[in-house]
Amino acid sequence: MRGLPKEATQSVVDGNHGSPYDVLGPHSDPHIAGFAIRTYQPYAAKVDVVIKAGDRVVSMKKTNKDGFYEASVPDLKEPEYRLRMTGFDDHVWELEDPYRFPLQVSEFDLYLYGEGTHYRTYQKMGAHAMKLDGVDGVHFAVWAPNARRVSVVGWFNRWDGRHHPMQQRGNSGLWELFLPELKEGDLYKFEVKGQDGYLIEKADPYAFAAELRPRTASVVWSNDKYAWSDSKWMQKRKKTDWLAQPVSIYEVHLGSWKRVTEDYNRWLTYRELADELVPHVKSLGFTHIELLPITEHPFDGSWGYQTIGYFAPTSRFGSPDDLKYFIDKCHEADIGVILDWVPAHFPKDGHGLGYFDGTHVYEHADPRKGQHMDWGTFIFNYGRNEVRSFLLSSAMYWADIYHIDGMRVDAVASMLYLDYSRKDGEWIPNEYGGRENLEAVDFLKKFNEIVHAEYPGFQTFAEESTAWPMVSRPTYLGGLGFGLKWNMGWMHDTLEYFTKDPVHRKYHHNNITFSLLYAFTENFILPFSHDEVVHGKGSMLAKMPGDLWQKFANLRVLYAYMFAHPGKKLLFMGAEIGQWDEWNYQESLPWHLMEFDSHQKLQWFLSNLNSLYKGSPALYEQDFGWEGFDWIDFHDSEQSSVSFVRKGKNPEDLMVCVFNFTPVPRMGYRLGLPTGGNYEEVLNTDAEQFGGSNVGNAGVVVADEIPWQGKDHSALVTLPPLGAIYLRPKK
């Protein structure tokens, strides 16, 4: 047997060798027409090579006191063998030698990954159960470009990083290793040793599953077991233009929608949520469920917005297949699923992405670009090819593997601006001296281009609070490429208006009309989100002024105004039951309120409103252009009333929407109308069935040939107190 330099042996023993395939495993030796086999087994007193072809056993020689063994096996054509260990307690066991199996990541994969154009890196990176040379095991791959050594560790090797060092693939920064006889469910991490002696255990950035916090190990998981039954939904989605369809989203935090109080206040599982949440959303008439981030995260109080596992659904509610079951049931109920996704920043937890190999690889090294001081998190380095591949692959993963129908990208404004929430001197200008994060802009454009090209009918939403232009315009026109943008200005102005006592609203009339000056500059979605019912802002019902009756009336007219206003809709959970307290992520929604008549009727109202919305093309077909909207009167500040017409693509599809934001009924209120004939009062928020006082128009309004408010026809109508009416021409 040809000698091996002692420094190579010692490098393996010391856990410093970055290319263990050069030392360990079988090595062809032409002098013996066979192989030299080497292994490192510090917990074995004796090691033998068991040749698979026949009963041949070759004893290995211990060449290093710390457990390095070598053997020459002459006349061996193929290195097919097992290692037989005898422990210091005479216990005997056998295992496969990981270093006799071929590497799996191709040169082409490495090239695309390094170029930043590998958009499905999850097919190669992370942990993949597979069969190699007839042996079951798990292949691992991770990116750690500046590490001295990376090892796979777990119970299978006593969490000892000396056991299974991974092979570094040239200058790619990628490390890989196949570990035979591992299986789904096994826990693992990567032990990373930096150039300066930095040593830490990291969770797998590409892990498909993870332990329940506070434990932090990754879990081997296979994504090919679940049998989907949503082909009908997926085919329909491909042909659907959601911009011309009703979109009414129920935003939900799975950990606090409902809890099992009698079982230690535990969460519902994904499967229990499929049985309870999905029928609830279906009965309310929402078209989509939006999930606050369910990507794995260590801290409950972040609500999921500080992500560790960009490929792992949180284990709080069950297994990855349980989540697939939940999504499947949503699709079966004709409900789309939108995932909150956070490519803007990530937490500093030691097992996460930060300082991954002893250097800043996922984040910028300079805190002026690499850290959010307000949030105590790291910012991704969007200019690094491997980071772009990581994030873009995460987006593709959720669409591919979990059949997600859309993504709401959180904190887009913080990505777009280098000076976001920073003082002078705390940020670095771009190459042109500006404040725009050009690398993040390019990343967002690429994200939108890819998902829209790969998944027809997939929708993207930008939570963006500034005046950045063309957020929801195609990239070929110079936009960011999002399908929809959250209208934060509308949300702020509308809630500011509605929190005013009605007697003062006439002085703030601009708050309720200003949004129409910019309503069609973007494809807007109108949100009343979780952010508006926390941190002292009060619940939606508690925001409303007045006595009990007025609070509920205000909330009904607010929702009616929202559903009539151009733009798609989003409501946070609890809005349908009228909770009094702020949302608390540690508690269930106050479902006991449904014992009370006023809360029952509010839920019934919202269900009816969603049903009317979905059945009225005038309210959704032309949300993003003036052709779908026409003012009747926006001047009546004295009576705090506004009125307008919504129009569908068919000229006959019209909806007249009138709002009285005071508790004073308006009798004999002359209203301009776009056509003559009879109008149905298809919605009256003051109807008794909704908890109102039943002031209205007895279901019918007759138009007179009296010009008014710029219209050829008009009618005398009754506007209910703190109420809205929708009028539709009778066909």
Q: Do 182 and 78 fall into the same domain?
A: no
Query: Is the CA virtual torsion 607, 610, 616, 618 positive or negative?
Result: positive
pTM: 0.95
Residue 616: phi and psi, rounded to 5, are: -125, 95
Domain count, the chain: 4
The percentage of residues in the chain with a pLDDT greater than 70, rounded to a whole number, is 99
Q: In what order do the strands lie in the sheet with 629-633?
A: 629-633, 641-647, 654-660, 723-729, 678-684, 700-702
DSSP E strand stretches across 400-498: 406-409, 459-462, 484-486
Cα–Cα distance, 725 to 690 (Å, whole number): 13
Shortest CA distance to 728 belongs to which of 553, 524, 564? 564
Boundary residue ending a domain (46, 64, 97): 97
Q: Is residue 123 part of a domain?
A: yes
Q: Is residue 102 part of a domain?
A: no
- Specify the DSSP class assigned to residue 380: B
172-208 burial, b if ≥16 CB within 10 A, otherwise e? Answer: bbbbbbbbbebeeebbbbbbbbbeeeeebbbbbbbbb
Q: Could you give the residue numbers annotated as active site?
A: 410, 463
Residue 628: half-sphere exposure toward Cβ, Cα within 13 Å: 21
Boundary residue ending a domain (594, 616, 638): 616
Q: Do 312 and 386 fall into the same domain?
A: yes
Boundary residue ending a domain (616, 649, 668): 616
Q: What is the pLDDT of residues 31-84, one digit of tens each?
A: 888 899 999 999 999 999 999 876 789 999 998 888 999 999 988 888 999 999
Q: Do 528 and 397 fall into the same domain?
A: yes
Q: Which domain holds residue 59?
A: 6-97
Residue 722 in contact with residue 662, Cβ under 8 Å?
yes
Q: Is residue 224 part of a domain?
A: no
pLDDT at 701: 94
Q: Do 175 and 51 fall into the same domain?
A: no
Residue 466: phi and psi, rounded to 5, are: -110, -170
Report whether pLDDT(2) > 80.
no
Q: Is residue 226 part of a domain?
A: no
DSSP annotation string for 144-191:
-TTEEEEEEESGGGTT-TTT-BPEE-TTS-EEEEEEET--TT-EEEEE
Residue 143, beta-bridge partner list: 174
Residue 345: half-sphere exposure toward Cβ, Cα within 13 Å: 27
Q: Is residue 350 part of a domain?
A: yes
Q: Do 606 and 625 fall into the same domain?
A: no
Dmax (CA) of the chain:
108
CATH number at residue 725: 2.60.40.1180
Cα–Cα distance, 76 to 673 (Å, whole number): 93
Shortest CA distance to 461 belongs to which of 417, 410, 499? 410
- Residue 728: C-alpha distances to residues 248, 304, 678, 712 (Å): 21, 43, 9, 16
N- to C-terminal Cα separation, the chain: 95
Q: Do 709 and 657 fall into the same domain?
A: yes
Q: Do 589 and 658 fall into the same domain?
A: no
Q: What is the pLDDT of residues 559-584, one digit of tens each?
A: 999 999 999 999 999 999 999 999 99
CATH number at residue 480: 3.20.20.80
Q: What is the pLDDT of residues 613-667, one digit of tens each?
A: 999 999 999 999 999 999 999 999 999 999 999 999 999 999 999 999 999 999 9
Q: Do 153 and 284 fall into the same domain?
A: no
Classify strands 92-95 and 135-143 as parallel, antiparallel or unpaired.
unpaired
| Coil vs helix vs strand at 518 | coil
DSSP annotation string for 189-258:
EEEEEETTS-EEEE--TT-SEEPPTT---EE---SS------HHHHHHHHT--GGGS--EEEEE-TTTS-
Report whether pLDDT(1) > 60.
no
Report whether pLDDT(510) > 60.
yes
Q: Is residue 162 part of a domain?
A: yes
Helices and strands, number each (H, E), in the chain: 14, 40
- Residue 211: C-alpha distances to residues 200, 217, 253, 343, 631 (Å): 18, 6, 20, 22, 55
| Coil vs helix vs strand at 715 | strand
CATH number at residue 49: 2.60.40.10
Q: Do 533 and 452 fall into the same domain?
A: yes
Report whether pLDDT(5) > 90.
no
Q: What is the pLDDT of residues 218-229, one digit of tens each?
A: 999 999 999 999
Report whether pLDDT(174) > 70.
yes
Q: Is residue 1 part of a domain?
A: no
Query: Is the CA virtual torsion 589, 569, 674, 709 positive or negative?
Result: positive
Residue 643: half-sphere exposure toward Cβ, Cα within 13 Å: 25
Cα–Cα distance, 661 to 484 (Å, whole number): 29
Report whether pLDDT(182) > 50.
yes
Q: Do 212 and 262 fall into the same domain?
A: no
Q: Do 252 and 188 fall into the same domain?
A: no
* Cα dihedral: 416, 422, 426, 427 (round 10): 10
Q: What is the pLDDT of residues 519-561, one digit of tens each?
A: 999 999 999 999 999 999 999 999 999 999 999 999 999 999 9
Q: What is the pLDDT of residues 286-338, one digit of tens each?
A: 999 999 999 999 999 999 999 999 999 999 999 999 999 999 999 999 999 99
Q: Do 254 and 111 fall into the same domain?
A: no
pLDDT at 461: 98
| 536: region left, alpha or beta (phi > 0 left; psi from -120 to 50 alpha) | left
